[in-house]
Each structure stands twice: as C-alpha cells, then as structure tokens.
Amino acid sequence: MGSTSEFNRRDLVKRAAAMGIVALPAMSFLSACASSGGGGGDKAAKGTKSAKNPLAVNDSAGLDVVIFDGGFGDAYAKSALAEYAKAFPKAAGKAKLTSTQKIQSTLQPRFNGGNPPDLVDNSGAEQMDFGTLVSKDQLTDLNALLDAPSIDDPAKKVRETLRRGVVEMGQFGGKETWILYYAYTVYGVWYSRGNLAKLDAEYPETWDDMLALCAKAKKRGIAGWTYPGKYPYYFPFSLYPFIGKIGGPEVLRRIDNLEPNAWHDPAVKAAFEAYYELYRKGYLLKGSPGLDHLQSQNAWAEGKALFIPNGSWVENESAKQIAQDPHFQLAVGAPSSLSAADKMPYGTLWASGGEPYIVPKQAHNAEGGMELLRVMLGKKAAQNFIKQVSSLTSLDGGTDGVDLPPGLASAQTVLEKAGENVLNPRLQDWYVALEKEKIGVGAIGEMMAGRMTPDEAIKKIQKYADDTRADSSVTKYKR
C-alpha cells in the first residue's frame, strides 16, 4: 500500500491494504512459522490489573514493535510509543520500534524461532497473508483490547469508539478479532478541483458525464485517467464500489464468498464495460500499463491526467508534487452513477480500515502490544497521526478540532454524505494472492491495457475464484 489493503493497502491495498504494492506469496513462510510450534519464546508475566492498567501489562517488560515504513512513515508510532513509555517508565529503556519495508523477510526468522515482535504493522510489499496467519493460529485475539476502557473515556470500551465496520474487518467468520486496522481509508476517484476548473468542469456524477469530460480533456492533450499498471489492483478502489452501486451490496458479498458465477453478475459486466471504454476511447494516459504507483501519482499530480483510482493516503504520498501547484485543491469523488437503474445512490463509496496491526500469538509481551494500540486509539495519538500523514484513523470523531488539509477534508465530506451507503469488500483481506496477483494483475490489468476484453476478463476471474474455492489448502471465509 502506498501508505494500503490503502490495500493492503497499502495496504490493499488493502494497502491495505496493504499500501499500494504487491503482496508476495506468504504460504510457504507462514507454514514454516506454524511448523515451528511456537514454543521458543518466553512470555512476560502479567502485571497487576487496575483502572490505569486494564490489560494487566507487566510494567517492566520490554516492548518490541515493527512498523511498515510506507507512505505513513513511523513518526506517529514513535510518538505513541513515547506515551507508552511515560505510562510504564520501568519499560522505557526496553521499548523499541523498528521500521522496515520488508515485513515478511524481516520477520520470517523470528516467527520461525518462536520469537516474534509484540506488535506488527503488517503492510506493504511483503505483507503477510492474513488468511494464512489466522488459519495457522499465529495471532492473538484482540477482543481483550476492544473490551478494555478507552484512553479518553473509561466509560466507553475501545470497540465503542471505533468507526463503523472496523471491528468486523478484523474478524474472519468468528467472534475473535485478529486484526486492528488503525488508519481509516476512503477509496475512490481522486482529482484536482483546480484542474477541473481549467476545463470549466466539476466532478462528474454520471458515467456519461465522465466520458464527456474525458473527451474534452483529450482535445486539450490531457488524459482522463491514469493508474499504476504495474499494480493494477488499484483499479478496484473505484471499480468495486462502482459494481456495488450498480448491483447492490449483495453482488460484492457473493464475490467475497467465492460463490459460483458471482463474477458473471450483470453489474460486474456493466462496470467492466464502462471502464473498458476509458481504454477503447483513448482516455487513459499513454504508458500507464508500465507505471508503478508513485510514477502514476506523479503524472496525475503534474496534471497529465485528471483522475486516478486511489486511497486517502495519496495526499501524504504525493504531497511534494501537489504542493507545487497552489491551485491543486485535492479532492475525492465517489463512483459516478452508471444509470437510473443503479441499486444504490450516488455517493456510495468504499471506506474501510487500513494499516493493519497484529499481535503475534507467541509475542513476549502481548499485553504491551495491545496497550500500545489502546494508546494509539486515544484522541491525542489519533490527531497526531492525522496531522502528520493527512489520513483519518479508525477512531470515530478523531478529527474534531483539527484543521484538515484539502484531500482529507474532501474524504471526510464524502464519507459523511455516504452515510449508510459505505461498502467494504473483503476479498483483498481474505484472499490476498487471488485479489492482487490474479484478479488485479492477471485480468483487470490486462483488460485496462487492452489485451483482454471485459468478457474475457470476467471469465478468467471467475475461473480464478472457482480454483480458489476448490483449493482445500486455502481457508474459506464468509460474510
């Protein structure tokens, strides 16, 4: 993920999911982790539970934190760790934070040895596969954290302070919560209000208007869209909510559940054909299939294209380029309406947790890892994150009293406008390899590069989904 799964993210995607970079296959690594038996690490004795220490943290135990060094950086986590050290001064000299872009290769020997960190920001190019982590029993259930009193209001549990859908995202078909998504990402079609104003235009709320605006831009030598062709799973950031808007949330639910023929739904075909028009009519920036996420963002920020599918981390990740144009006015748009027959109203969008944190089951100080997350979900730490990286957090209301930059203010506005019409696809969380390597690169990327028709892409994706459903080595999840 650029900052993603967001996509993880970032995180796609999923960032972010991860954030905006391909997640490497993690099965062999995690199988090795599971085979280690997890008996090599000593666990710190629990401390005394109290109002100030509801998770019974051992106040003299060390704390080992590993952060993905992506678009969000690690300064926000260091600030939170300093607050943790104030609360547990005996542990201050033993609390350490390590930053890396290579999560999997850095942590592999530690998992194998039964000595993983106490808290991990599992994001980026080497993001570990969550489905495999859960199925191999490698994670700590975070419900103890969620049921603990919040930092700011002890009368409220942590779970009661979180944005809609965040807790559910960390669950995999059961009541246990394995992941805490710290950032809150708004996905959509990002643009410059200033660049649209030069064309005497506003964000197009219908797809016909989108195509007309792209045609107008083309006449002036400006592309309508660009995208990271090397990581084409960025397209789902606007394509998936477009599908949901056209056919309703049930379409995305069936896709997430790997149901037979889910990808052959008419809403999928309509959305794919609409996006294919961008290629067919020459509205995509030439060379986009060969660009990575930063190159495509730079081209867009320089005004070579009007629109880019992305997550709200783009404001921080493209800050230097955007700052060069004082009239840029970054903003995000929800998917345009395809027709009056769409099942959901204009304003429907994808917004969900990003920057996924986990506490390994064999952590030396799991209570300390959860306590640091509790600190991070306090208003002070959340607002520090917002100011530093121009992104929302999962703390509901964390923006109160904060002067938001243009992109984040726009994200907050579209989120409020969406109301209950917020979609949260789970495919990128549950089946990382399927989503990124096969659907994204193998089909959507091929279609948008003109090497595959929409019908061919859909047929290929359905085959990928069917193969995943039939693979007994892959744990299945449903919603």
Note whether 264 and 205 are within 8 A (CB): no
Q: Does pTM surpass 0.85?
A: no
What is the pLDDT at residue 4?
A: 37
Q: Which domains does the chain have, with CATH numbers?
A: 8-185+353-408 (3.40.190.10)
Residue 3 has pLDDT above 70, yes or no: no
Task: Determine the average pLDDT of the residues in 330-347.
Answer: 98
330 closest CA partner among 193, 234, 226, 199: 193
Lowest-pLDDT range, 25-34, 139-148, 431-440? 25-34
Residue 242 corresponds to which amino acid? F
Summarize pLDDT for 225-255 with one digit per residue, the tens: 999 999 998 999 999 999 999 999 999 999 9
Q: What is the pLDDT of residues 368-382, one digit of tens each?
A: 999 999 999 999 999
Query: Could you tell me if 356 and 179 are in contact, meaning their C-beta atoms sit under 8 angstroms apart?
Result: yes
- Give the largest Cα separation in the chain, rounded: 70
pLDDT in tens, 269-311: 999 999 999 999 999 999 999 999 999 999 999 999 999 999 9
Residue 29 has pLDDT above 50, yes or no: no
The answer to whether the CB of 314 falls within 8 A of the CB of 190 is yes
Peptide bond into 10 cis (omega under 30): yes
Confidence (pLDDT) at 401:
85
pLDDT at site 22: 34
Residue 188 near residue 350, CB atoms below 8 Å:
yes
pLDDT tens for each residue of 55-94: 999 999 999 999 998 878 899 999 999 999 999 999 999 9
Asked if the model's pLDDT at residue 164 lies above 90, the reply is: no
- Quote the pLDDT of residue 95: 95
What does DSSP say about strands 18-19 and 8-9: parallel, antiparallel, or unpaired?
parallel
| Inter-residue contact 289 to 448 (CB < 8 Å) | yes
Tokens matching residue 90? 């005996």
Confidence category of residue 257, pLDDT binned at 50, 70, 90: very high
**One-letter identity of residue 380:** K
Residue 2 has pLDDT above 90, yes or no: no
- In 3D space, the residue among 116, 123, 104, 156 whose CA is nearest the CA of residue 8 turns out to be 123
> Per-residue pLDDT averaged across 378-397, rounded?
92
